[in-house]
Amino acid sequence: MAEKKALGKGLSAIFSDFKEDSENIENIAIDDIKPSPYQPRNFESDDSLLELVNSIKEKGVIQPIIIRKKEDSCELIAGERRLRASKLAGLQTIPAIIKNFSDEEAAQIALIENIQREDLNPLEEALAYKKLIENFDYTQEELAEKLGKNRATIANTLRLLNLPKQVIKLIKENKVTAGHAKALLSLNDEKFQIELANLIAVKKINVRDTEAIVKEKTISYDFSEYENLLQNTLKIKTKIKYSGKKGKIEMTFGSKEELEDLVNKLAKI
């Protein structure tokens, strides 16, 4: 396998040996450019795209996109928003830099470009990490080193994909944030995860309050002292269950006689 280059410093490090002068830039027909199969970002609800369209209509495309030649067409590497906005602005061609990138490099750059925008949806980021791991057999540690990130960050982001599909949908719609999702992951109750996620979306509950709700739900209470006291007093197996808001006492008897004895003891208390 070829040596893996670290991409943590971003696109500028990747193109450090490449000067973007007039000799390196070509005007490419927009219809000849295929979208990147590695694009992690969902642009369906990107309202800011309209601002870019207006800017391009007024000033043109200031920064060229990055493409690679692939068979009889061109494939986008970086500049998805510029390409989409240029098409919406009615342009027929767009300035582009042609690079000879491998599939691995193309996938990494598509992710890096969007992460550096700092508005990549956490679910989109998780799916991008998953795709890189599956396509190129990275371990989480290798991927973290490749992207200049902490391995725990990669692992925690990937954990979002373990949430119920109803919760994932809310994250995709930006109604539940990564901070909310991290708190929800602490819950073992899938039904409550969904209920709380819906409540977050409707009531706009902040992350701190979400964490407090989760803590109250998951806090562990030790009632062994009370259980032993009841068992010694009533001579019957006793279990106390408490969720943080309400609870119940379970007593197990083995015969009708044991039940009658228990009732008599309780009646005298």
Checking if the pLDDT of 5 tops 50, the result is no
Checking if the pLDDT of 15 tops 50, the result is no
Q: What is the pLDDT of residues 57-81, one digit of tens each?
A: 999 998 899 898 877 789 998 888 8
d(CA 45, CA 121): 11
| Confidence (pLDDT) at 129 | 87
pLDDT: which is higher, 114 or 6: 114
Residue 180 sits at the vertex; the CA angle it makes with 135 and 143, to the nearest 5 degrees, is 25
pLDDT band at 99 (very low <50, low <70, confident <90, very high): confident
- For the segment 20-33, the average pLDDT, to the nearest whole number, is 77
The 3-class secondary structure across the chain, one letter per residue, is CCCCCCCCCCHHHHCCCCCCCCCCEEEEEHHHEECCCCCCCCCCCCCHHHHHHHHHHHHCCCCCEEEEEECCEEEEEECHHHHHHHHHCCCCEEEEEECCCCHHHHHHHHHHHHHCCCCCCHHHHHHHHHHHHHHHCCCHHHHHHHHCCCHHHHHHHHHHHHCCHHHHHHHHCCCCCHHHHHHHCCCCCHHHHHHHHHHHHHHCCCHHHHHHHHHHHHCCCCCHHHHHHHHHHHCCEEEEEECCCCEEEEEECCCHHHHHHHHHHHHHC
Inter-residue contact 122 to 170 (CB < 8 Å):
no
Residue 210, beta-bridge partner list: none
Q: Which of 5-19, 33-47, 130-144, 178-192 has the highest mean pLDDT?
A: 178-192
d(CA 128, CA 82): 20
Q: What is the pLDDT of residues 224-259, one digit of tens each?
A: 888 888 888 888 889 887 766 678 899 998 898 889
| Confidence (pLDDT) at 19 | 46
Supply the residues annotated as catalytic.
Answer: 80
d(CA 165, CA 190): 10
Q: Which pair of tokens denotes residue 111? A: 């992710």
d(CA 35, CA 153): 28
The 3-class secondary structure across 37-60, one letter per residue, is CCCCCCCCCCCHHHHHHHHHHHHC
Amino acid code (one letter) for 14 = I
| Confidence (pLDDT) at 211 | 93
pLDDT band at 18 (very low <50, low <70, confident <90, very high): very low
